[in-house]
Structure 1
């Protein structure tokens, strides 16, 4: 069931959201008119009744169904998924608009409880399907083409066969999920949303303070970094407790399921082979010296510094004039870039701006960062931003719009086949960013403007590739260490610092307190090992874009076919039309070489 929101969060931005024009807000009425609407009560009742009826009709009987009967069963299951997804999408989106509102928090928690209880009778479905013999299932697919279309759904379920527990244990895990990881996730979200930081006498939330790390004033950046460290430090025992508990819970479930590694469940969910992820990780780590180490040494020279401090990492360049970009300009920039690639792409993006599908402003209690949530296939996606008029905010809009367009195209696959694995879910988003960047670069009027754009893109790519793989290594170390016992805050701090110098390079000093900065990264809490998907997506898109530049003829049609496929095909099948193969270790070097070439160009621009 789609009972959670995927919430990618970036290393960035937010203050007040004023002065950028008329920022759009969500209109959630396409899901439900209001939190007390009778349609919500109706759908909860319908969900409970349809789940009970489904179990009564099918439990203990799946192995005896013919092809037509199995198809009807799958279609009924899909309709239930649609109903539960609509309820939880509405509850979740309202909550993320203001995570400190007790009423919204209660509404989401109650909805989660009701959906969990209602869907408990469905736990048998996956368990029984996985007990059907391979040959018997293959015969059903051969007998009915409409059923065979759902084969990828069955394949994903059956990937868990070696790790399946007894029916009773699976039902127990399903029932207790709302007081397990989900409860700790809420505690983390609400704690983060409620933190207050004071910089130069001004009280602000997390996003506002992180935004100051990109301020042109170095003293203000330092003050923000030190205040972040101080506040994280005061709350570190709580964050350590959250991570210890979640890592231990995962270790227990992984042990019972006989998972070979803490990362394995994520690889299964992403439909990607562990060796492919390892090849990606190794390629990026081996490239640290020619990417991040080289770029940050260059940046230090631009800034006239022997050493960079952590508050200089995302600092604007000295040649970069401070610039605020209004919402209308941001919209026009992204839409023109999308239209330049394909008018159809721009047409798919347009409703987001005009129909209340974007929530852009920074507001008290609003979740940090940005995401695109697909909701359900008979509605549409919603995009959340914290827009502050920075050039990076325009890139974030381009990124999330890519997700939204991808989700709209994949919706044609239906509820069970539309969801794209995380490794491929970043494809359209990163491609949208690249289109926008290339358009801006082509329009640059001076060398200084071109240098600023190139440096910004390199920093974004380093944040997406180098930084996320360093995050992945930190998680691997954290979960491995937790298997040996409880971790103190100092233990976790040490693991964090063990990946920082390696990934960022010798040009950095690390202030006292930076060791606590693991505390605010939500992916570690919400989605363990999610982060490598960003690097996967960036590398994949760099390779795709190289194909586009070399032979644009016919590329658009193949690209749209890939997005429309959603989760119906494996990454090998999706990339084959482009002549690409992510299982080839050289594939990742191709993507990383694009970043290196941008750094080459920046080095050549030095006076």
Structure 2
């Protein structure tokens, strides 16, 4: 295969960023210097005066330059500790470092909060002139966005206090979820022996082509999450309680105000998207019914929806998956393929199937090193290949914006998930085109429709659950039994009552509900899925038009 990565490694290289992992002297020095510089930035903010005209713009240029330098360094540190805590949930030193980084980030946010009233105090004509002044013109959009949001926030001293309290409150609850999930072990029977699997390892078994295996693993999966449900319900209630209290103080009466602002979407756009999804979801019902017949059941259970059809489904080696993904990227964009080869050859990817890792997958960027790191657990399943393509899509997105000013590199999650689902689509389309038999083609089409079911039904269920949960949380704590009921009700509605069983403890097992950096991290996936398909169709249409035009220009063509 053209462009096949040679000898890709299944564990990432963090030493290229900061050698020594959580004991890295280089990182400890980096973090100490960052703490000092963030404190100095705060003092500079406090001393800033509202500019009276262009002759006073110099200090503001210098401040914004210093701010961008600090933002880049905080993101570098945050990405590093995120990788450390993901690769080994028992690394206590990494958790301590994570706490220090969060404290630095809170100090930066407090300084930014004190800057906000000064931005608001600048008269509009002076503000427009300031944003038109190089080099500030390059960051006019994020500065304007910050000034607009400042009007909707608390006074700076209260915002700073909220940021400070969140480190050992709001964010600490999120880190506690990681600890609980990281220490969980799920007993699974294998060849007469009991194996104790980590959460990501058990999650891979839920993709088994054997229905009895899926049934057995899912039963143990539900039991494991049910055992932890009281603690996880407390965590979820406290996370939501913090948000609701802060929103109430700010006068934000819609729980979606912040996630919509972060995603640069209007409520009308979001409502229109869900209305379209609800209307079109009926088109997935024939697929689910047909899959039921192929699986030999009356209706699919929860663990059947993403299951492969073939009993002896292809198992992928990591190098094989790397080569395949790179080849499909190459067929669409040499730039995407170049980035993939760089990721594999540079050991950007942590994919080893071992205990002690956190669940899920992610891609994080190191803006100073100009590299990314991808985290997942690869067990040779087709879904793992899709995850690999998905996260490489994020890495490609990072590479596209890395030359922009730091403040301009902050894109919303709705756009981030467009890039990742687009990369998934490129690989899926390539696999279907290369199918060597009808059976392989059917299996690949099933994967494609299964992905559509995830993005249009599963994600909608998450949104319905979270909306209902926050509505009830406003009245007080929500019990485990009620969380289960809300979750199952949301799943039944989203899946149009087409399944024979559901996953009531999904609220406990899904990390996304506990991410403190991204409230309502559900609808961006559906937005990205739909938008990426539109972009892909347009790209293919344009490519076909260009090819046809070139053919028409050939000599002798009429």
**TM-score above 0.5:** yes
Q: Deviations over 1:237-271 (max 9, x none)?
A: 11111111111111101111111311110111111
The equivalent of 1:207 in structure 2 is 200
Note if 1:390 corresponds to 2:381: yes
Note if 1:61 corresponds to 2:48: yes
Deviation at 1:42, TM superposition (A): 3.0
SS of aligned partner of 1:552: helix
Note if 1:26 corresponds to 2:12: yes
Q: Deviations over 1:445-488 (max 9, x none)?
A: 22111111011111012112321122111111111111112111
The equivalent of 1:243 in structure 2 is 236
Cα distance in 2 for residues equivalent to 1:304 and 1:38: 58
The equivalent of 2:523 in structure 1 is 532
Cα distance in 1 for residues equivalent to 2:364 and 2:255: 26
**Is the Cα–Cα contact under 8 Å of residues 45 and 114 in structure 2 kept in the other structure?**
no
Q: Deviations over 1:533-565 (max 9, x none)?
A: 110001001111111122127999xxxxxxxxx
Matches within 5 A, 1:128-147: 128-142=118-132, 144-147=133-136
**Is the Cα–Cα contact under 8 Å of residues 548 and 555 in structure 1 kept in the other structure?**
no
SS of aligned partner of 1:383: strand
> Where does structure 1 lack aligned partners over 5 or more consecutive residues?
1-20, 557-607
Residues 348 and 42 of structure 1, relative CA distance in 2, 3 Å threshold: same
Residues 550 and 117 of structure 1, relative CA distance in 2, 3 Å threshold: closer
The equivalent of 1:591 in structure 2 is none
Deviation at 1:121, TM superposition (A): 4.0
Cα distance in 2 for residues equivalent to 1:232 and 1:555: 53
**Is the Cα–Cα contact under 8 Å of residues 51 and 57 in structure 2 kept in the other structure?**
no
Cα distance in 2 for residues equivalent to 1:240 and 1:56: 41
**Is the Cα–Cα contact under 8 Å of residues 30 and 379 in structure 1 kept in the other structure?**
no
**Paired residue for 2:37, among 41, 50, 67?**
50
Cα distance in 2 for residues equivalent to 1:424 and 1:554: 27
The equivalent of 1:442 in structure 2 is 433
Note if 1:316 corresponds to 2:308: yes
TM-score (norm 2): 0.90
Report the aligned-residue RMSD: 2.1
The equivalent of 1:593 in structure 2 is none
TM-score (norm 1): 0.83
Cα distance in 2 for residues equivalent to 1:62 and 1:362: 55
Deviation at 1:139, TM superposition (A): 1.9
Cα distance in 2 for residues equivalent to 1:553 and 1:413: 32
Note if 1:299 corresponds to 2:291: yes
> Where does structure 2 lack aligned partners over 5 or more consecutive residues?
1-6, 548-558
SS of aligned partner of 2:315: coil
**Paired residue for 1:342, among 329, 333, 347?**
333
SS of aligned partner of 1:372: strand
Cα distance in 1 for residues equivalent to 2:307 and 2:48: 62
State which drifts further: 301-310 or 258-267.
Answer: 301-310
Cα distance in 1 for residues equivalent to 2:178 and 2:447: 29
Matches within 5 A, 1:412-451: 412-451=403-442
SS of aligned partner of 1:480: helix
**Paired residue for 2:150, among 132, 155, 161?**
161
Matches within 5 A, 1:32-431: 32-34=18-20, 35-64=22-51, 66-117=56-107, 120-142=110-132, 144-200=133-189, 201-291=194-284, 293-317=285-309, 319=310, 321-431=312-422
Q: Deviations over 1:13-37 (max 9, x none)?
A: xxxxxxxx96432211232122444
Cα distance in 2 for residues equivalent to 1:522 and 1:92: 14
Residues 42 and 230 of structure 1, relative CA distance in 2, 3 Å threshold: closer
The equivalent of 2:552 in structure 1 is none
SS of aligned partner of 1:551: helix
**Is the Cα–Cα contact under 8 Å of residues 377 and 415 in structure 1 kept in the other structure?**
no
Cα distance in 1 for residues equivalent to 2:460 and 2:11: 34
Cα distance in 2 for residues equivalent to 1:101 and 1:73: 37
Cα distance in 2 for residues equivalent to 1:555 and 1:256: 56
The equivalent of 2:554 in structure 1 is none
**Paired residue for 2:465, among 458, 463, 474?**
474
State which drifts further: 524-533 or 133-142.
Answer: 133-142
Note if 1:491 corresponds to 2:482: yes
Q: Deviations over 1:435-454 (max 9, x none)?
A: 11111111112211111101
Cα distance in 2 for residues equivalent to 1:207 and 1:344: 31
* Aligned positions, number: 531
